[in-house]
Structure 1
Amino acid sequence: MSVRILALVGSLRAGSHNRQLAETAVKHAPAGVEITLYEGLAEVPFYNEDIDVEGSVPEAAARLRATAGQVDGFLLFSPEYNGTMPAVLKNAIDWLSRPYGAGAISGKPVAVVGTAFGQYGGVWAQDDARKAAGVAGASVLEDVKFSIPGSVTRFADTHPSDDNEVVAGLTEVIQQLSQATPAAA
């Protein structure tokens, strides 16, 4: 049985370098690991307890929760927007954190990686994503990190899947994440 990992990308832009990183993770997942790139975060409404009512949860949020409930772990890809994580990623974490204590992210391992234009590769945003996922109940792999600086220039003419350093770094993160899942035990 494969370890199932759900990739959530914090950028909605079609040409996003973080989306390209997620595509690279899917393409280069080691044997025994299946990574699914989640499509549809743009349709998930902002979290609001008034609409998070059993039997009437918005379809896009219910689909996110159902998909997340079927996986063994999460790989979050976060760019840095104004020094923190994008709202779309935070919103996904919020929906997955409910119901409180029993959300789809609760107790599951989470690793956070990403790329950004700045010299640190979005580490502030990635640290914030780790914090939010941990507060949401995930088992965050605090020491599993991979931040790639200078995305605009580094990936101007090269897709991340053609960058050996990126492939090696992502493969290492995926291996550590998969080993932290109950499915690997």
Structure 2
Amino acid sequence: MEMEAAKPTIKVAAICGSLRKNSSNRGLIRAGWAAEKICGESIKGMQIEYVDISSLPFINPDLEVHGTFPPAVEDFRKKILEADSLLFASPEYNNSVTPSLKNAIDWASRPPNIWAGKAAAIVSVASDSSGMLSQYHLRQIGVFLNIHFVNKPEFFLNRSQPPRKFDSQGNLIDPQVKDNLKGMLLALQAFTLHLRGGFSSKDGNIL
């Protein structure tokens, strides 16, 4: 009987564009932390780390001294550099990404651009457009930075539509949304491995 090859561990840097403690978008990240509980054995091998962007100063090249960045920026850049792939939770402000997320993106794009070549997925919770405009703007930014986004599935969530999807602390409670998140994480896992050259993007099997 042919043994199935183990999938290598993937380190995922999860970034939330909202700084609010009980943010629904941050709730999606917390649900991602519990990926093995959501997805069972099928997603084993992913390590999701929430990367806090709240301490990053507003981007200013004057803060770069002799090729070094402020300590908070250096730490952030290191975590992005060491990650195999990215998970963005992107709320929508004025039809675009949030200022805090754009600030983080700009800091990590300072030479050398450490976003380049990484696989990424986006999830969004918002009203009205469900975060579509935010996601498409983020994808546009990602093209310039050479980030490779998962195209399908897409994950948009309108928080105003019933049934209730989050509790008062922003924790994800809707089973169907958890299942959709599972699909996104599995797609990110397969796409990351595909970019490494060892797995197909179609079914996650070794080529």
TM-score by length of 1: 0.88
Superposition map of 1:28-177 within 5 A: 28-29=35-36, 30-39=43-52, 41-99=53-111, 102-116=112-126, 118-151=127-160, 154-155=164-165, 157=167, 160-177=171-188
Residue 97 of structure 1 deviates from its aligned partner by 1.6
Query: Which residue number corresponds to residue 189 of structure 2?
Result: 178
For 1:23 and 1:156, locate their aligned partners in 2 and report how far apart those are by CA, in whole Å.
12
Q: Give 1:83's aligned amino acid.
A: N
Secondary structure of the equivalent of 1:5? strand
Alignment CA distance shift 1:160-1:152 (3 Å): farther
In the alignment, is the contact (CA less than 8 A) between 1:114 and 1:122 conserved in 2? Answer: yes
Q: Secondary structure at the match of 1:173?
A: helix
* Cα drift, residue 138 of structure 1: 1.1
CA distance in 1, matches of 2:23, 2:186: 24
Counterpart selection for 1:19 from 23, 26, 30: 26
- Deviation, structure 1 residue 183: 5.3
**RMSD between aligned residues:** 2.1
* CA deviation profile, 1:72-107 (whole Å, cap 9, x unmatched): 0001001111211101111111112221xx422111
* Letter matched to residue 31 of structure 2: T
Partner of 1:43, secondary structure, is: coil
Secondary structure of the 2:105 match is helix
Moved over 4 A (4+): none
**Matched residues, percent identical?**
30
The one-letter code sitting in structure 1 at the alignment partner of 2:103 is N
The number of residue pairs the alignment matches comes to 181
- Normalising by structure 2, we get a TM-score of 0.79
The one-letter amino acid paired with 2:49 is: T
Structure 1 unmatched ranges of 5 or more = none
SS in 2 for 1:6: strand
CA shift, 1:11, in A, is 0.3
SS at match of 2:96: coil
